[in-house]
Amino acid sequence: MLLGSLRAEVLKANLALVRRGVVVFTFGNVSGISRAEGLVAIKPSGVPYEELTVEQIVVTDLDGRVVESNLRPSSDLPTHLALYKAFPNIGGVAHSHSEYATAWAQARRAIPCLGTTHADYFHGAIPVTPDMTPEEIGGEYEKATGEVIVRTFHDLDPDAVPAVLVANHGPFSWGADAADAANNAVILEYVARMATHTLAIDAEAVPASHALLDKHFFRKHGPAAYYGQRGRK
């Protein structure tokens, strides 16, 4: 079996989304990439999570051609591929329709960085894409979804803000590998829940100071990080 360990990791990351409560039914999908081999492993389309096996994880090349599987890949594959091509450091992509992050996407509002939980993982607001045009929607829709995400990041660092809200659709997140991408999907949902409650408590709540956000992000990320154990992510 091609890419056995990557597929196992992708399976595990998909199941983590279910266990962490960010997907219901067959919503959502996680992929991982082997940059050395130019191959991507992704969840098959519409297969219930409880039935999912390592063998069913679909392997494709970077043009989306299935290399090994008799199942169709997730229909969102072209979005994942666009992200892998544009964001060279990422090793995994996750997509969910998680309840609160999706609500922000439906409201077409970026999630402001209201506190340190957010800043521990995302260095600034989670952006929302502009609306897609009827042409983009009517053409290669899933590929265009990836492209509108990439355009949204034209002046943002995808390694510092590893998530986005696709307007009227839902969140995509990414990370060093499939597990990290799924983790970011879970954190994003948690951050979205808390931002929703914060607005309910005070509709005029404002983002935390830049000093505080920098402190928390760089406490966990980059050369000066001191959170966690050495040699452990």
Interface with a second copy (CB under 8 A): 20, 24-27, 44-47, 71-72, 75, 97, 99-100, 102-109, 114-117, 131-132, 134, 137-138, 141, 168-170, 183, 186-187, 190, 193-202, 205, 208-209, 211-212, 215, 219, 226-230, 232
* Closer to a second copy by Cβ: residue 20 or 34: 20
What is the smallest separation between the CB atom of 37 and a second copy, expressed in angstroms?
26
Is 227 in the active site?
yes
- Which residue among the candidates 120, 141, 159, 190 is catalytic per the annotation? 120
**Both tokens assigned to 216:** 């928390």
Residue type at 1?
M
List the alpha helices (DSSP H) in the chain. Answer: 4-19, 77-86, 99-106, 116-119, 134-138, 141-152, 178-201, 210-220
What is the smallest separation between the CB atom of 114 and a second copy, expressed in angstroms?
4
Residue 137, classified by CB atoms within 10 Å of its CB into exposed (0-12), middle (13-18) or buried (19+), is: exposed
Residue 111 has, within 13 A of its CA and on its CB side, a CA count of 34
* Closer to a second copy by Cβ: residue 44 or 175: 44
What is the smallest separation between the CB atom of 219 and a second copy, expressed in angstroms?
7
The rounded distance, in Å, linking the Cα atoms of 140 and 190 is 32
Catalytic residue positions, numbered: 120, 227
